[in-house]
Amino acid sequence: MAILVTGGAGYIGSHTIAALQERGEEVIVVDNLQQGHKEALLGGKLYVGDLRDEDFLDEVFKENDIDAVIHFAANSLVGESMKSPGKYYHNNVYGTLCLLEKMNEHGTRKIVFSSTAATYGEPENVPIDEYDRTLPTNTYGETKLAMEKMMKWYDTAHNIKSISLRYFNAAGAHESGQIGEDHHPETHLIPIVLEVALGKRPHISVFGDDYKTPDGTCVRDYVHVSDLADAHVLAVDKLLSGAESAIYNLGNGTGFSVKEVIDIARSVTVKEIKAVIEPRREGDPATLVASSERARNELGWNPRRSRLEDIIKSAWRWHEANPNGYKKND
């Protein structure tokens, strides 16, 4: 009776494992450690390997009695996905295909999937709900949408039930201070802003200030990574109690512009944080804000760490204590 977490050594995966450990679940982790960090694992039995390696994945399923899978393993950078679509289709889409095939072969019929607001593209309505149009503006979002659709057809054909969680912008760090965000290269707004505060970068580049938003910079819905982790645990419970497949947005329902994020970071860190306006980044929609009513009503999800100031405080605590991420400080 175990839960397999793919990509468990990554940012959201490691926080989800922490939440599963708190409940005393048996956790099996698969990670190729290309982006993930062994040190981020607060528990679980780690298998280092790739979902696309059939023999490897077969071993994992043979050696463990897996009830449900939480699937994070994927590449997730918008900018990179626009430059290297092949990498994204191969790892994300083909990797998921390999996983679903193995699940079917071994009789594991529940999967919680790490999806994204990038599946919507430029939204028709704000806040966005799960019935809104999905028309991704970048390859990353397109591959995640393809993965969601693949799961739908594996349900039809093989009764594999899935819950896809479309997160908005994950941020923050675990309250223990032991795990947090550490990407190489870092491309996300909040960690980069905090690296400027730490003196590791001279300034933050603001990608575009001519969007149709109140201050011209992009608006996003930031959600604490531990609140996201909680939603995965609730989704596993729901599937194991016999629920049908579903898709849920996960966000706080409040948008903050890039400029607002920088201002809040200035007040949290009490540092200057120089900002320089630069051209737009390819593939970025102007505004992404979630309606998470469905997750609240059907999953019983209640994001408890929803104030952006507190989210940034928790991230700052991690970055200040670990300026080199998981790499030991010399």
- Under the binding rule (CB under 6 A), the answer on residue 68 touching ligand UDP is no
Nearer to ligand UDP (CB atom), residue 59 or residue 309: 309
Distance CA(253)–CA(264), nearest Å, equals 18
Residue 167 Cβ, how far from ligand UDP at the closest point, in Å?
Answer: 9
Q: Which of 137, 187, 254, 306 binds ligand UDP (CB under 6 A)?
A: 187
For 301, phi then psi, to 5°, come to -80, 135
- Under the binding rule (CB under 6 A), the answer on residue 78 touching ligand UDP is yes
- Give 290-330 as a DSSP string: B--HHIIIII----S---HHHHHHHHHHHHHH-TTTTSPP-
Helix 11-22 to helix 225-240 angle (10° resolution) is 60
Residue 48 Cβ, how far from ligand UDP at the closest point, in Å?
Answer: 27
Nearer to ligand UDP (CB atom), residue 220 or residue 224: 220
Q: Are strands 275-278 and 45-48 parallel, antiparallel or unpaired?
A: unpaired
**Catalytic annotation, pick one of 47, 88, 120, 140:** 140
Q: Are strands 256-257 and 219-220 parallel, antiparallel or unpaired?
A: antiparallel
Total chain residues near ligand UDP (CB under 6 A):
15
Residue 314 Cβ, how far from ligand UDP at the closest point, in Å?
Answer: 16
The token pair that represents 161 in the structure block: 């039930």
The token pair that represents 226 in the structure block: 């531990």
Binding pattern to ligand UDP, positions 282-321, x when CB under 6 A?
--x-------------------------------------
Nearer to ligand UDP (CB atom), residue 109 or residue 220: 220
- Under the binding rule (CB under 6 A), the answer on residue 228 touching ligand UDP is no
- Under the binding rule (CB under 6 A), the answer on residue 19 touching ligand UDP is no
The token pair that represents 112 in the structure block: 């919680």
Residue 218 Cβ, how far from ligand UDP at the closest point, in Å?
Answer: 3
Question: Which residues have CB under 8 Å from 121's CB, separation 6+?
Answer: 133, 134, 135, 136, 137, 141, 285
Nearer to ligand UDP (CB atom), residue 248 or residue 256: 256
Residue 326 annotated in active site: no
Mark the segment that binds ligand UDP (CB under 6 A) among 9-17, 38-46, 184-192, 243-251.
184-192
Angle at 117 between CA 322 and CA 22, to 5 degrees: 50
Distance CA(112)–CA(162), nearest Å, equals 6
Task: State the residues that interact with ligand UDP by CB under 6 A.
Answer: 78, 169, 187-189, 192, 204-207, 218, 220, 258, 281, 284
What are the catalytic residues?
A: 140
